[in-house]
Structures are given as structure tokens and as C-alpha cells.
Amino acid sequence: MYKPNQQEVTCIVCPVGCKLTVVRDEHEPEGYRVLGSQCKRGEHYGIKEVTNPTRMLPTTMAIKGAHLPRIPVRTAEPIPKAKIFDCMDAINRVELEAPIKIGEVVLENVAGTGVDVIATRSMERITEPLAVHGG
Amino acid sequence: MQHYDVVVLGAGPAGLGAAVEAHKNGARNVLVLERDRELGGILQQCIHNGFGLHFFSEDLTGPEYAERFIDELQELGIEFKLNTMVLELTEGKVVKAINTTEGYLEIPARAVVLAMGCRERTRGAIAIPGYRPAGVFNAGTAQRFLNMEGYMVGKRVVILGSGDIGLIMARRMTLEGAEVLAVAEIMPHSGGLTRNIVQCLEDYDIPLYLKHTVVDVQGRDRVTGVTIAEVDDRTQPIMGTEKHYDCDTLLLSVGLIPENELSRGAGVKIDPATNGPVVNEAMETSIEGIFACGNVVHVHDLADWVTEESQRAGKYAARYVQEQLVEEGKMFETRPGNGIGYIVPHYVRVSNLDEQLPLYMRVREVFEGKRLVVKADGEVIKRVKRRHMAPGEMEIVKIDSDKLRERPIAELAVSVEEE
């Protein structure tokens, strides 16, 4: 894989949003030097962003028998950034059936990432229109 | 007729937080009224993560954050009515509402908590030229269509406004296969959180044009194109800087307006700086026993702070119905000084404070390496360093109540000063 000697990264560890320059440097213990960071956490973030960037992927899945046609889901852990669209393809091929409980695994090992997809809300099976009263 | 201790208007993060906390603090009959078909409010369409980082020290999505409070509300047996529209609130705290099973309802309450949230500013409100074809959506409306109803609103998209909803929708539309061509922002800085600029725009190479606005929308039945242009320092478009995009959709993320029709109808005093009720330390409005919290008071950028504020409103509403709230006594005003747009709360009655007084505020512009300085009648009582402050990020300063009890204070001012 092609790796340029230097990459620009905007730090998101805190609201300051430092502009980091991550430079390849064999003399450093982690192989990189981070310029422009005001803290240690920013340095770690910078190196992670150029070596193994990951993202949480929140999206929705189709569902039958619920009060809505979509149910929100997310990856249980952050996945590699480069796998985001592969995961979206896999997630969009699934159709669930209500009821679903929050936290339930709705797709295992999405797109070979080793990470499961979980529901982020509960949806009951709807047999009649939603009641007005609760409590 | 059923009487209630506390009636909460709205079941979003503010209403849920206030209702649960009112119950926990001894309010006996709490009722939540919600116009939507389910609890949770706008959190149910905010399927992205980033919620709960402060409150739960966890990275949750909107629906997950909502479900924690919904579960708690139900475990406590707090009563709620869905599909119920509040028509009017009277100064005497009678809530007039309507739903399809019970018809017209008049609900007398000892205390009311306003938790109606906010709504999106529309195209009409910002006067965008051009025809009125289909394909122009408020970003939050598009978010609800896409994430809950399962409708994809377009394939080639331009977004006006770089507030968080606009940024989040740029990513959502991209993930679902649309092409997001540009995000235009009229201000010289984005109104969104840095993490959203990075993870929603930079990750997908979506260009952000600062100091740009939409100058034309083409298409008669459906949007066929959008033209943006750079603006000068008075936000007037500069001739010759136009960029044209062939697209079918324009999303607007151009600000949120606290939804205060009911508050105004009741005669609650509104602060023109926040467009929300003037409140005191108890989150009580200008009408005794009517409390307010969350985005109906001032637009927050994080649901976590809505929860914190709403729990205070709920707690104080419970104290009010138990006659534990001191309505008279020593009171001072808060005043936004240099660089500060507004401060919530507006008034403080010292006798009702717990250990700390939290001041929520927004700065007027971007500041680097400054201090927030709090002065009681001109005397400095707190200084906090801030490396970075922006209008899009709410600032919170907590003052030890003991410092406010030492002697009578007439005014507490906060200003931005040099380090």
C-alpha cells in the first residue's frame, strides 16, 4: 500500500481541532512524528489516523412488522474506515422481522470485519395501530 | 377531572429528563404530553453516535440515548399521552390539549415544564431566490424521511449550512449512495462540531465552501440545479464567483428556532437573544410554577447538556409543588459581557442554589487562547482558561454557590478577556 511520508490530519480528540502533520520518522518509537498537536492524546490520534483509521458506522436496516419500515443499527465496534461501503452493502441486503430488542445482534461479522451489527432501539411487533395511552 | 402535580409538554430528551427527575424528587402525579406517535422526540431520527459522551461516558446513538430515559420513565410508572397536541397553556397553568381517543382535554397542573424543543429555520425565513420546485428540504426533515420512513430524498445533493444536522446529513446521504456535491456556509466558520467536519465531510472528500451562499435554485417541478456564490463581509453575494451544480436536491441546515408559541400564549417573557423564555436558577420562567428546559430555552449542541438542564428543571418543579422553592429573597441578574451572546439562567435566587450554579452561554465569535472571566458587581470571582471557543460550542462555567452567598450581589457578568 502506498504511504506518503507526510499526511495532514484534523484532530477530533477535543474541540480545539488542531491541524496535525504526521510525518514518517524511523527514529521515533512508533515510526511517526506528529507536528502541530497540543497534547499527547492528539499525537496518538494522529498516528492512529494514518496507520489504522476506524469509524463507528451507524445506519438503518429494513424491518417488517414494526411501526416503521427502518430500524436504526450500528457496528458494535468501530470498523476500518476503508470497509465502510462494504459494510453498507451488506447491511442493506438484510431485512429484519419485528420484534427486535435494543443491543440485539442483527448481522454477525459484517463484511468480514469481525464486528457485529446491533440494533440501536427496540421495536415491537405491531398488530394494531399504536395506542394513544401509556403509563 | 384528574389533577397533576407536574405536566411536561414534550417527550424529547428535555421532557423525559424533566419528568423522571420530577418524579424522583417527590412529585406524585407527573404527566407527559407528546404530539408524536412515540416517546424520544428528535433523538429517534438522530441515528448517529456522539450522544452520552458526557452524561454516560459512553458513545451512544440518539435512539440508544432516548431508550435509556424511556425505560426509566416506564419503570417509574410515569403517565404519558402520545398523539396528543397541546393547543394552549394558560397563565393559570391549565393545559388544553386534544387527541383522537379522548377528544378535547383541559388538564389543570400545579407546575408545568415547557420542553417543546425547537424547529428548523425554513427557506422562506432566509429568502433564497428561485422557483419553488420539489427537492428542497430542511435537513432534519430529510433525516426523518431517510432514517425513519425509509425514503431517499435525492441522488445529487447540495447542502446550505454547515450546522451539525447539515454535516450529519452529508454523510448519511453519501452512505446511502447519493453524491453530495458541496456544502455552502455563509459564515467564515462552520457552525458544526469539529468531529463532524472531519467524519462527515473530510472522510468523504465533500467540499465545504465558507463565506458562500445559494443565489439561485433552478427547476420548476423538481430541482435541476443550484448556484452558489461567495459573499462579502456584509454577506452580500460577489458577482463573478458563482459555482453551478446540476443536482436534484437542496438540503437546508440554516438554524433552529425554539418553539415558543405555547409559552408566548401563556404570557411567558421571552429573551430576544435566545428566542426562549427568560429563566431563573430553577429554570422557572417569568410565570411562577411554569418551568422550561432544553432547546425551547436555548438551542443546545449536545443532548447531554439538555439532559443536565432538564433534570434541574424537573427537580425544581418537584420542589415547587412541595412548597420548597423560595420565590422571594436575594436575587441577582446575569449579564453577558464582552464577547458573550447570552447567558442562561437570566436571574438567580441565591437561596435555591445547590452546591454550584451552572452558567450556560455562547460566545459571539471564534476566540483562541482567551479567558472567561466572571465578575460579581465588578469583582472577579472566577477565571477559566479556554484554548478555543466558538459560537457553535456552548460554554459552561460552574460557580461555587458559597461565593455567591458571601454578600449581596446585584449583577453577575461574564466576559471574554485576554489571557
Q: Using a CB–CB cutoff of 8 Å, tell me whether B78 touches chain A.
A: yes
Q: How far apart are CA B384 and CA B247, in angstroms?
A: 47
> What are the residue ranges spanned by the domains of chain A?
6-52, 58-119
pLDDT of residue B387: 87
Tell me the whole-structure pTM to 2 decimals.
0.93
Are B114 and B127 within one domain? no
Q: How far apart are CA B29 and CA B136, in angstroms?
A: 44
For B295, what's the count of Cα atoms within 13 Å in the CB-facing half-sphere?
23
Are B342 and B400 within one domain? yes
Q: Using a CB–CB cutoff of 8 Å, tell me whether B388 touches chain A.
A: yes
Q: How far apart are CA A60 and CA A73, in angstroms?
A: 5
Are B109 and B134 within one domain? no
A17 to B388: CB separation less than 8 angstroms, yes or no: yes
Q: Which of B201, B220, B254 is the last residue of a domain?
A: B254
A58 to B49: CB separation less than 8 angstroms, yes or no: yes
B150 to A131: CB separation less than 8 angstroms, yes or no: no
Q: Which of B270, B292, B325 is the last residue of a domain?
A: B325
CATH number of the domain at B377, please. 2.60.40
CATH number of the domain at B240, please. 3.50.50.60
- pLDDT-wise least confident of A43-47, A89-93, A101-105, B269-273: A43-47
Yes or no: domain A58-119 corresponds to CATH 3.10.530.10: yes
Q: Which of B302, B325, B348 is the last residue of a domain?
A: B325
Asked whether the predicted pLDDT for residue A135 surpasses 50, the reply is no
Asked whether the predicted pLDDT for residue B133 surpasses 50, the reply is yes
Q: What's the average model confidence in pLDDT over A97-106?
A: 98
Q: What is the ipTM of this complex?
A: 0.92
Q: Using a CB–CB cutoff of 8 Å, tell me whether B48 touches chain A.
A: yes
- For residue A121, list chain B residues with Cβ-Cβ distance below 8 A: 44, 63-64, 66-67
- Buried b / exposed e over B136-172, threshold 16 CB at 10 Å, is bbbbbbbbbebbbeeeebbebbbbbbbbbbbbbbbbb
Are B136 and B147 within one domain? yes
Are B13 and B65 within one domain? yes
Q: Report the gap between the CA of A96 and the closest CA in chain B (Å).
A: 14
Q: How far apart are CA A62 and CA A126, in angstroms?
A: 15
- What is the domain range of residue B177? 122-254
Count how many domains chain B has: 3
Residue of B78, B147, B208 to mutate, testing the A interface (most A Cβ within 10 Å of its Cβ): B147
Distances (CA, A) of A114 to A60, A77, A79, A92, B293: 19, 10, 9, 18, 42
Are B309 and B188 within one domain? no
Q: How far apart are CA B89 and CA A15, in angstroms?
A: 40
Q: Using a CB–CB cutoff of 8 Å, tell me whether B149 touches chain A.
A: yes
Are B359 and B308 within one domain? no
One-letter amino acid at A78 equals: P
Residue among B250, B194, B189 nearest B219 (CA): B250
pLDDT in tens, B322-334: 999 998 878 999 9
